[in-house]
Amino acid sequence: MKIGVFICHCGSNIAATVDCAKVAENARAFPDVVFSTDTMYTCSEPGQEEIIAAIKAHSLDGVVVASCSPRMHEPTFRRTVERAGLNRYMFEMANIREHVSWIGKDREANTNKATELVLMAVEKLRRNAPLFSKKFESTKKVLVIGGGVAGIQAALDCADAGLKVVLVERETTIGGKMAKLDKTFPTVDCSSCILGPKMVDVAQHPNITLMAASEVTGVSGYVGNFTVSIKRRATYVDWSKCTGCGLCTEKCPAKKSPDKFNEFMGPTTAINIPFPQAIPKKAAIDPAACRKLTGGKCGVCAKICPTGAINYEMKDEIATEQVGAIVAASGYDLVDWTIYGEYGGGRYPDVITSLQYERLLSAAGPTGGHILRPSDGKEPKRIVFIQCVGSRDKSIGRPYCSGFCCMYTAKQAVLTKDHIPDSQSYVFYMDIRAPGKMYDEFTRRAIEEYGTEYIRGRVSAIQPDGKGRYIVRGADTLLGKPVDVLADLVVLAVGVEGAKGAGKLAETLHISYDHYGFFMESHCKLRPVETNTAGVFLAGACQGAKDIPSSVAQGSGAAAKVIGLLSKPQLENDPQVSSVDIKRCVGCGKCVDVCPFQAITKENIRGEIKAQVIEAVCQGCGLCVATCPQGAIQLSHFTDNQILAEVNALCQC
Amino acid sequence: MNTSDLESSRDEAFIRAVEEESGQRISDCYQCGKCTAGCPCGPAYDLQVSQIMRLIQLGDKKAALEAASPWLCVSCSTCTARCPNNIDVARVMDTVRHIARREGKKKYVMNAFWDSFLQTVRYCGRTYELGVMAMFMARTGRVWTDLDLAPGMLTKNKLPFIPHIIQGKDAVGRIFERFNEMERRD
Amino acid sequence: MNVAYYPGCSGKGTSVEYERSTQAVFASLGISLRELSDWSCCGSTPAHATDARLSAALSARNLCLAADTMRRYDATRFTTPCPSCLANLKTARHHMAEAKFREQVNKLLDSPCPAISDKGEDPLPEVVSTLQLLVEDYGLDNIAAAVRTPLSGLKIAPYYGCLLSRPADIMKFDDPENPTSMDRLLEALGAEVVPFPLKTECCGAAMGIPRRDITSRLTGRILETAVTYKADVVAVACPLCHMNLDLRQQQAKAAGNASYKLPVLYFTQLMGLAYNLPMSELGLDKLAVDPSEILHKIGKEVSA
């Protein structure tokens, strides 16, 4: 073999503590090395040209570059050697920056270590074999999970690009949390007015299939070829017949059913349409509240429905879809704030969440847009807003900032003044986070123009005074005093976490998630809408608490990734995958059990059970290799022999 | 009149001492004020609880140890119960009291009460309530303290004249002696 | 059932009715309170505010005595009625789990405390409040079964005080913000418990002596709130809370310009009433605020 070695200076990043010329000189003595040099910046254009020239001049069939971490430039150099006519896997990198020059100052020791790392790379390269990707077809269809504003945006962008889209939404209507808002900051736009047209576009787009009241229950396959099973919940109303006229709602006798859309702020009927602009505008029955479904008595809606759409016998159905990519846009939910006993633990009727308050503010809400105290229906005059309930709180395991509560509280304070001109609002805050465009100016307006009292300090406790009002015990840390406010209504800016069931959805999609239920992106800075699972992307609050503009941007970002992925006529797989030597395989199946991606199956080969790897699904993690008792399964480009060659090289130094 | 030179007023050793004795990391505090908000004695304090924490964070030993607030604290642990950063604030206040006493800082009235209380325990093995009151009055000159309660308590036999002196009173006394000796040595 | 018992210093003085009613109630339920022989003061707040090691040593002496008592009577539990003693005993045991601190404390004692075993078992016993013992060990069903005169018609505000369930990681009892043990115990006696929002709000403790204004304000707020919630009586489980709410009720009223008369009883006194125990054992005549009105509601008189 003829190997060329290139030692990079990386300016002074490496050269400051490593004698690169010496390393290059040492490498000349290594087996199969016919060319060795050091360069200023190997990844630069002249640096890459130098590699290509050397390959041609010395007929090299393998290259080692000693420079930064492969995570930085391995793809770059692989493409370089490919341009010179070599197979891209006849290339190895030695990390002499993050692993050597950046962690120690001893020049001699560093130079020694760099030399050893280069030797290891050379020895591995000597055992490398060319690898070739396989091309495979992809389905030009995308699954979007979650019909909030992020999912809606992703669906519309993909559909506009000509892809077929399946949008699966858990509730009976799309719109997510944004549909629950009255107005949005910082413009105080009406939320349904700006979201409504997008929701209608989704319903009418020829490329979008909307599945509401549905949940994804299983995903198998691999990028470009996912098979998804979707549970379509029984709504007990045939949506192909329902016109959304609402007669059933008027006549339903079960008038005290819990109203999830209105955050349980008022009763609704067992059969209902959540809000006037719901998409799909179809009725659905809550089986736990319906008298016919629980007790067998009633049936009024079936009698009254002009199209005969009611069907009490409806069952859940499973639909199956083949898609090429998946966008997770499952959104967020509020943290369980009732664990704060000092705020009443949910026992005080006039201590409510920001989302509940939003429903009171909304004209389509349970009070017709009038702010009324839940306890006695009277109009409150003194409203206290408490920020950071469940955010920035290590004691409940939620140390992070939820990012948008400062903004919506300012908005709610502004709206409160509009609704009740003679009211006085107080906001207890720790810091005001208003980073977006026109955000800080908006919070200042709440204070300067709308007379909201902002008090810097947290609230220790809310104590009912026994006469219908609440003593809010807070502090003004700027003045250095404890302060009390006698409130008629208290609104808690509750922190957010991943939506309920996020963990289970993540496991279904084979993606990672954190303690708070947020899905993990590939790289927190540079790859915010991708996951480490090929073909699965993220958009919106499911990836981390964020406001509407960021969610919409991520929706479009995820769509761009999907469109890019599926625009290629065929996809290429990464050939660094496992393969089974069926001569050694005894069919024990341990690898099948241990594979996190279900990439290994048991096949019957000439009458014997053998393991077989689905190359397109295999992510090259190597768990199967470590598990196999026979050594029958090997990971290409990281075979036992290749790795042991590196170990031997090191042991002999 | 001068500004606080943060560099020179910062007593690093004091911060470490408070952290070690209280077992709490003072930099965990982000000055939210929840402790101040819930402190039942806050309205009577010269410096609020969160301000005492701030002084410790800044290493302002003098101001922290000379504040009246730690001596008006009733050790109810409301601050500890509600701190979002899991800081045992009550223990930090206790530690401030410990250090202040050791360094001979200005004593507040509460000290006189506590010293009187411990004095009776030292010599009787148990608290002698009447003795505590008498010593307190002698130390502070506040001879009218709770005189309005005396008739009620005496007629209902709630304030025994004779102290309960236990057999092991010397064992208890020795605890105090060894403690004083330990402090002298340190 | 045998339990080791630490009465606390005020039991012989300012909270004599708590001590007496506790003894009476436990005896009637068949629980033998084995008082630690020659126990000494735990030091209460004055000790822990003075020095952690001194405070722990004063408690440790009693923890060792308790271990002896439990061995002698084959008792499985160690209890005390006073939350301040409880806090000190528990805190001492908690901090003494750390070897260096234990060593320092041991140097102050006549005989050092036995060491923690290799398995992590501490020979110093755990201690619980009498309230916890009754509700958790004895059980609410048994408490209800012993009732002869249900306290029906009595509206009670349960006041736990600041120490019983805080700090949560040391006291390990009930909820630190909204405890309900006493609520359930009182309900088991047949009483109606009002949704009192100041259950764990501090009464001012011993601040009454040096700074009466602070205690009066805090106590006043508790009493006024109980009155707003239409309570007939406030139930307490702490000698200092009782002293502030009962003995100092007049001071609180004067400071707050208020007029009310709210009897404050120890929960054990209420249990004794429900169990028809002799009045002489309940010490109701020791109360500063006359409880006659509420006694009449359940058909009883202050003196038998």
Of C178, C201, C229, the CB nearest to A466: C229
- Pull the structure tokens for residue A426: 């107080």
Task: Report helix angle B129-140 to B109-124, nearest 10.
Answer: 140
Do C169 and C273 belong to one domain? yes
Q: Is residue C140 part of a domain?
A: no
DSSP A69-106: -HHHHHHHHHHHHHHTTS-TTSEEEEE-IIIIITT---
Residue pLDDT, tens place only, C12-25: 888 999 999 999 99
- Chain A positions touching B50 (Cβ under 8 A) are 475, 477
- Residues of chain A with pLDDT below 50 are none
First to last CA, chain B: 37
Among C178, C199, C217, the strongest candidate for a mutation testing the A interface, having the largest count of A CBs within 10 A, is C178
Q: Is residue C302 part of a domain?
A: no
Do C274 and C157 belong to one domain? yes
Architecture of domain A234-315: 2-Layer Sandwich (3.30)
Give A336-494's CATH code, choosing from 3.50.50.60, 3.60.15.10, 3.40.980.10, 3.40.50.300: 3.50.50.60
- Check if C120 contacts B (Cβ < 8 Å): no
- Residues of chain B with pLDDT below 50 are none
Task: For chain C, positions 199-218, list CB contacts with chain B under 8 A.
Answer: 200-202, 204-214, 217-218
With pLDDT > 70 as the criterion, what percentage of chain B qualifies? 98
Among C169, C174, C177, C227, the strongest candidate for a mutation testing the A interface, having the largest count of A CBs within 10 A, is C177
Q: How confident is the model at residue C304 (pLDDT cuts 50, 70, 90)?
A: low
What is the structure's pLDDT at B106?
A: 66
Q: Is the pLDDT reported for residue C9 higher than 80?
A: yes
Spatial contact of A482 and A475, defined as CB atoms under 8 Å apart = yes
Q: Is residue C30 part of a domain?
A: yes
Length of chain A measured in residues: 653
- Give CA–CA dist A137/A225, Å, rounded: 8
Q: Is residue C203 part of a domain?
A: yes
- Check if A471 contacts B (Cβ < 8 Å): no
Task: For chain B, positions 133-172, list CB contacts with chain C under 8 A.
Answer: 133, 136, 140, 145-146, 148-149, 152-153, 156-160, 164, 166-169, 171-172
What separation in angstroms does the CA of A93 have from each of A4, A72, A440? 12, 11, 48
Is C177 close to A464, i.e. CB distance below 8 A?
no
B27 closest CA partner among B58, B57, B49, B50: B57
- Chain A positions touching C167 (Cβ under 8 A) are none
Dihedral sign for Cα A116, A118, A119, A124, please: positive
Spatial contact of C105 and C43, defined as CB atoms under 8 Å apart = no
Which whole number is the average pLDDT over C99-124? Answer: 92
Is B175 close to C217, i.e. CB distance below 8 A?
no
Nearest chain B Cα distance for residue A386, angstroms:
12
Residue pLDDT, tens place only, A396-438: 999 999 999 999 999 999 999 999 999 999 999 999 999 999 9
Of B153, B158, B166, the CB nearest to C40: B166
A177-A183-A187 Cα angle (round to 5) = 120
Supply the pTM of this predicted model.
0.91
- Check if B23 contacts A (Cβ < 8 Å): no
What is the structure's pLDDT at A598?
A: 84
Q: Which residue of C has its CA nearest to B94?
A: C49
Do C83 and C160 belong to one domain? no
Nearest chain A Cα distance for residue C177, angstroms:
5
Q: Is residue C115 part of a domain?
A: yes
Of A388, A396, A475, the CB nearest to B37: A475
What is the structure's pLDDT at C290?
A: 92
- Chain A positions touching B83 (Cβ under 8 A) are 395
Interstrand relation of A62-67 and A91-95 (parallel, antiparallel or unpaired): parallel
Among A463, A470, A484, the strongest candidate for a mutation testing the C interface, having the largest count of C CBs within 10 A, is A463
Nearest chain A Cα distance for residue C115, angstroms:
33
Domains A234-315 and A578-636 share a fold: yes
Sheet of A225-232: strands edge to edge? A214-222, A225-232, A317-323
What is the structure's pLDDT at B129?
A: 87
- Check if B80 contacts A (Cβ < 8 Å): no
Q: Spell out the CATH class of A3-127.
A: alpha beta
What is the structure's pLDDT at A237?
A: 97
Nearest chain B Cα distance for residue A429, angstroms:
8
Contacts of A408 (CB under 8 A, 6+ apart): A185, A354, A358, A493
Do C194 and C157 belong to one domain? yes
Is C178 close to A345, i.e. CB distance below 8 A?
yes
What separation in angstroms does the CA of B64 have from each of B4, B54, B69, B71, B95? 15, 9, 9, 12, 11
Of A388, A461, A482, the CB nearest to B42: A482
In chain A, what are the domain boundaries?
Answer: 3-127, 141-232+317-332+502-567, 234-315, 336-494, 578-636
Spatial contact of A136 and A617, defined as CB atoms under 8 Å apart = no
What is the structure's pLDDT at C168?
A: 93
Q: Please state the φ and ψ torsions of residue A164, each to the nearest 5 degrees.
A: -80, 140
Do C193 and C124 belong to one domain? no
- Chain A positions touching B84 (Cβ under 8 A) are 388, 392-396, 458
What is the structure's pLDDT at C13?
A: 85
Of B21, B41, B113, the CB nearest to C214: B41
- Give CA–CA dist A413/A353, Å, rounded: 14
Is B84 close to A474, i.e. CB distance below 8 A?
no
Spatial contact of B32 and A457, defined as CB atoms under 8 Å apart = yes
Q: Is residue C290 part of a domain?
A: yes
Is B175 close to C54, i.e. CB distance below 8 A?
yes
Ordered domains of chain B (ranges, CATH)? 8-102 (1.10.1060.10), 109-185 (no CATH)
- Check if B51 contacts A (Cβ < 8 Å): yes
Of B39, B50, B86, the CB nearest to A394: B86
- Give CA–CA dist C61/B175, Å, rounded: 9
Spatial contact of A193 and A210, defined as CB atoms under 8 Å apart = no
Quickly count: other Cβ atoms within 10 Å of residue A431's Cβ.
Answer: 13
The amino acid that residue A357 corresponds to is Y
- Chain C positions touching B112 (Cβ under 8 A) are 210
Is C14 close to B129, i.e. CB distance below 8 A?
yes
Q: Is the pLDDT reported for residue C233 higher than 90?
A: yes
Task: For chain B, positions 73-112, list CB contacts with chain C under 8 A.
Answer: 74-78, 80-81, 88, 90, 94, 97-98, 101, 108-110, 112
What is the structure's pLDDT at B1?
A: 67
Do C116 and C180 belong to one domain? no
Place of tokens 């209105």: A262
- Chain C positions touching A467 (Cβ under 8 A) are 228
Is C225 close to A465, i.e. CB distance below 8 A?
yes
Q: Please state the φ and ψ torsions of residue B36, each to the nearest 5 degrees.
A: -60, -40
- Give CA–CA dist C193/C268, Å, rounded: 16
What separation in angstroms does the CA of A496 have from each of A44, A114, A340, A355, B147? 45, 48, 15, 11, 56
- Check if A148 contacts B (Cβ < 8 Å): no
Residue pLDDT, tens place only, C146-185: 999 999 999 999 999 999 999 999 999 999 999 999 999 9
Q: Please state the φ and ψ torsions of residue A116, each to the nearest 5 degrees.
A: -65, -40
Is A460 close to B32, i.e. CB distance below 8 A?
no
Q: Spell out the CATH class of A141-232+317-332+502-567.
A: alpha beta
Do C258 and C161 belong to one domain? yes
Quickly count: other Cβ atoms within 10 Å of residue C2's Cβ.
Answer: 16
Number of helical H runs and strand E runs in chain A: 17, 32
What is the structure's pLDDT at B153?
A: 81
Nearest chain B Cα distance for residue C53, angstroms:
8
Do C219 and C104 belong to one domain? no
Give A578-636's CATH code, choosing from 3.30.70.3270, 3.30.1360.120, 3.40.50.620, 3.30.390.50: 3.30.70.3270
Tell me the CATH number at C85.
1.20.1050.140
Do C174 and C293 belong to one domain? yes
DSSP A94-155: EE-IIIIITT---HHHHHHHHHHHHHHHHHHHHH-------EE---SEEEEE--SHHHHHHH
Q: Domain of C23?
A: 2-129
DSSP letter at B56 equals H
Quickly count: other Cβ atoms within 10 Å of residue A39's Cβ.
Answer: 21
Of C46, C213, C217, the CB nearest to B114: C46
The overall average pLDDT reported for chain C is 94
Tell me the CATH number at C209.
3.40.50.11810
- Chain A positions touching B63 (Cβ under 8 A) are none
Is C50 close to B98, i.e. CB distance below 8 A?
yes
- Chain A positions touching C175 (Cβ under 8 A) are 341
Is A341 close to C198, i.e. CB distance below 8 A?
no
- Give CA–CA dist A272/A364, Å, rounded: 14
Spatial contact of A276 and A256, defined as CB atoms under 8 Å apart = no
Do C22 and C77 belong to one domain? yes
Do C117 and C170 belong to one domain? no
Q: Which residue of B has its CA nearest to C50?
A: B98
Interstrand relation of A608-613 and C77-80 (parallel, antiparallel or unpaired): unpaired
Nearest chain B Cα distance for residue C26, angstroms:
22
- What is the number of structural domains in chain C? 2
Query: Torsion over CA of A319, A320, A322 and A327, rounded to 10 degrees?
Result: 60
Do C47 and C125 belong to one domain? yes
DSSP C169-200: HHH--S-SSS--HHHHHHHHTTPEEP--TTTT
What is the structure's pLDDT at A246?
A: 93
Burial annotation A79-103 (CB, 10 A radius, 16+ → b, else e): ebbeebebbbbbbbbbbbbeebbbe
What is the structure's pLDDT at C152?
A: 93
